[in-house]
Structure 1
Amino acid sequence: MYLKCLKLRQFRNYRDCLVNFEAPKTILVGNNAQGKSNLLEAVELLSTLKSHRSGRDREMVLEDASMGQIQALLERAYGSVELGLTLRSQGRRTVALNRESLRRQLDFLGILNAVQFSSLDLDLVRGSPERRRNWLDSILTQLEPIYAYILQQYNQVLRQRNALLKTIRKQEEERTPEGVISKQPQTELALWDAQLATAGSRVTRRRARVLQRLAPLAQSWHSSISGKTELLEVTYAPNVNLEKDDPEAVQQAFLDKLHHRRFPEQRQGITLVGPHRDDVEFTINQTPARSYGSQGQQRTLVLALKLAELKLIEEVVGEPPLLLLDDVLAELDPNRQNQLLDAIQDRFQTLITTTHLGAFDAQWLNSSQILSVQAGQIHTLA
């Protein structure tokens, strides 16, 4: 797939901007806070309908404007596709495909596939489990758009169940020695248990399957980048044991653990069982990567994960996704830069942000379109 052009209106610091992409690699150069990352964020939104930088649409709309728009022309193997996303300071966002409004945002997902790599991705190694869960969910959403709906269903059940647990805890706290607690919340809790187990098992099983495919790809890339001196292992650590990929078996494991954790959950007023407590573990030479030492080794790990993402999406979708590199090349030494360059070549359209061109060797510069970004304005340099 190839992103031919991107138009931004009242998005972030762009009042009205049109960018035509004329080379497999585009370098966006400029000082900090000029809008380079905003452009990559726009592509990310078209890909996943999410931004890793903001959770609120009003923060992405130009100040004093009521709405912002992102439009793109994408070339796929089956033909050209027009994408449109309208964000509002107040009210719901809307999406359009080939200028036709879509009732379901789910139908917008999976059309533009992209892998983003930024300095924030080091949090994949040393950050919280939530960061790793979000990373895994983002991959799944691109490979299997229905997963966004499955995850939404699970989170709705989780919120309802947490609200009920808080009610039960409050009843327990207010009960006098002679008081009798109502059985109704306990009956209702059993119903939410069943729904949590059903929705949660769908999330858990899909996460396990995608990581099973991603792990060997990452291991191979990591071995290559490290000169075969380090062995990477990527392991799914589900909150509920996953002995086999069987819906009934996983649901029963959920229910068994919910029964086992019943009293701690009611005492704390929160759900302690489910994929919202999953993690992904990285080990290098059998040592947890979080405590493995240098940032260089952690960067190698994250680079291997991102290259594995590219390969997996290409295998599943049948077309190479876009690669978004947000101010990350300066943090890679020449060896890792060359590994990245060799991996992507001209096969993956790549958008790269940087504050200076000195971080690039002649190979990068000669094969790239170079754009200058200043205060929401974009000009061609080469």
Structure 2
Amino acid sequence: MIISRLSLTNFRSHAHTTVEMGAGLVILTGENGAGKTNILEAISLLSPGRGLRGSALSDLIRREGDGGFAISAHIQSETSALTTEPITIGVGLPTELPQNRRIRINGVPTSANRLSEWLGILWLTPAMDRLLVEGASGRRRFLDRLTLTLFPAHARSYTRYEAAMRQRNRLLADEKGYDPLWLDGLELAMAEPAAAIIEARHRWMTELTEKIATQQSGPFARALLTLQHGLPEEAGLENEGFFENKADLTAYLQKIWQQSRARDATIGRSFYGPHRAEMIVTHHAKNMPASQTSTGEQKALLIGLILAQTALVTEKNGQPPILLLDEVAAHLDPSRREILFDRLRDIGGQVWMSGTESSLFEKAGNTAHYFHLTGQNIITR
């Protein structure tokens, strides 16, 4: 699926902005502050989660607006765009109370988790340049974004898991004590989606590792991936069959949470679980932790991961995800930029890229869609 029309109303710096485009590369240029990244952020909100900046909804409202915002996108199949009516996805924040995120597909209200059933969206931003050297939480979000584009149900599993875990944490913190039977029920409610989360992540890593192994070597380094699932170290976790038997995995999770109740009550949180997972990235050719490589090598590793993930999703789902690459060309030399553009065109689908200088995209080709932003105006080049 591609976005054929995008409209923003009172979103960030955009009062009323509409762009129309087709498949291929979509290039946004303009000075800093012109609103390029705001457009990419709006697209990222057409998927579950808080978008590429992780912003609060109140931060997305245009200051001079009426107190709400709206994002509307027409999406349609790239292969049958002339014969298929576009599907409309709307995401917004109303001006009236309660100001909760509202989502509609063809005018029908739905949940955020349903968005992943229509669009797979991946992104790289300058803020992610330190993803491989900072804390585990950022890599965990990246891991789940990649998993989500392959397994859309992953978002619902995580929502269910977090809701049950919050209830468990509150119950353990109750000074009046807790009912063990009630905790049994909450831990079962955690264990079932947690098992689905662990299985989906494991399947994703296995399949992506196989895809990386088949890709040609080049300027974007290959990554070696290892997952730590946030669980006690046990030999069973290394057994492939352990992840395939959900009943055993669910029972195992219930057991470790039952055994850790006293400690979790003391520390005020659940110590074990998929919310504590870690994705370890190694530079394959150098056999070196990614955190110890140069900034340029880390950027190349991330781009390589995105390219491999895109190829995997395309193979599994029959269509590539939408890619959002914010300022990615500015950090590449001319030869790497040209190779990147060639690979992105070969993938097909739709790739949105931003940059301050038009010269960065000279090799993007005459089939790309070019838009130049000047304040509130978008000028097609």
Q: TM-score, normalised by structure 1?
A: 0.86
Q: Unpaired segments of 5 or more residues in structure 1?
A: 172-181
* Structure 1 residue 121 displacement after superposition: 2.4
Equivalent position amino acid for 1:193 in 2: E
1:177 alignment counterpart: none
1:224 aligns with 2:231: no
- In the alignment, the residues of structure 2 paired with residue 363 and residue 69 of structure 1 have an alpha-carbon distance, to the nearest angstrom, of 34
* Structure 1 residue 221 displacement after superposition: 4.7
- In the alignment, the residues of structure 2 paired with residue 20 and residue 268 of structure 1 have an alpha-carbon distance, to the nearest angstrom, of 52
Greater shift in the superposed pair: 108-117 or 294-303: 108-117
* Structure 1 residue 18 displacement after superposition: 1.2
- In the alignment, the residues of structure 2 paired with residue 258 and residue 286 of structure 1 have an alpha-carbon distance, to the nearest angstrom, of 36
1:126 alignment partner, SS class? coil
1:19 alignment partner, SS class? strand
1:74 alignment counterpart: 75
1:138 alignment counterpart: 145
- In the alignment, the residues of structure 2 paired with residue 149 and residue 84 of structure 1 have an alpha-carbon distance, to the nearest angstrom, of 20
Greater shift in the superposed pair: 123-132 or 211-220: 211-220
Equivalent position amino acid for 2:289 in 1: P
1:304 alignment counterpart: 304
Structure 2 CA distance for partners of 1:130 and 1:220, relative to 1, 3 Å = farther
* Structure 1 residue 235 displacement after superposition: 1.1
1:338 alignment partner, SS class? helix
The 8 Å contact of residues 48 and 142 in structure 1, kept in 2 or not, is answered as: no
1:374 aligns with 2:381: no
* Structure 1 residue 66 displacement after superposition: 2.7
Pick from 115, 125, 128: which aligns with 1:118? 125
1:233 alignment counterpart: 224
Residues 265-310 of structure 1 show CA distances to partners (whole Å, capped at 9, x for unaligned) of 232122101000001111123322112x311111111011110121
Pick from 47, 72, 84: which aligns with 2:90? 84
Q: Unpaired segments of 5 or more residues in structure 2?
A: none
* Structure 1 residue 222 displacement after superposition: 7.8
The 8 Å contact of residues 221 and 307 in structure 1, kept in 2 or not, is answered as: no
Q: TM-score, normalised by structure 2?
A: 0.86
Q: Greater Rg, structure 1 or structure 2?
A: 1
The 8 Å contact of residues 164 and 187 in structure 2, kept in 1 or not, is answered as: no
- In the alignment, the residues of structure 2 paired with residue 41 and residue 67 of structure 1 have an alpha-carbon distance, to the nearest angstrom, of 16
The 8 Å contact of residues 218 and 307 in structure 1, kept in 2 or not, is answered as: no
* Structure 1 residue 107 displacement after superposition: 3.2
- In the alignment, the residues of structure 2 paired with residue 192 and residue 47 of structure 1 have an alpha-carbon distance, to the nearest angstrom, of 28
Equivalent position amino acid for 2:61 in 1: V
- In the alignment, the residues of structure 1 paired with residue 367 and residue 23 of structure 2 have an alpha-carbon distance, to the nearest angstrom, of 7
Greater shift in the superposed pair: 200-209 or 330-339: 330-339
Question: Could you tell me the percent identity over the aligned residues?
Answer: 25
Structure 2 CA distance for partners of 1:57 and 1:341, relative to 1, 3 Å = same
- In the alignment, the residues of structure 2 paired with residue 335 and residue 139 of structure 1 have an alpha-carbon distance, to the nearest angstrom, of 27
Greater shift in the superposed pair: 263-272 or 276-285: 263-272
Structure 2 CA distance for partners of 1:154 and 1:222, relative to 1, 3 Å = farther
Greater shift in the superposed pair: 21-30 or 4-13: 21-30
* Structure 1 residue 42 displacement after superposition: 1.2
Structure 2 CA distance for partners of 1:294 and 1:306, relative to 1, 3 Å = same
* Structure 1 residue 112 displacement after superposition: 2.4
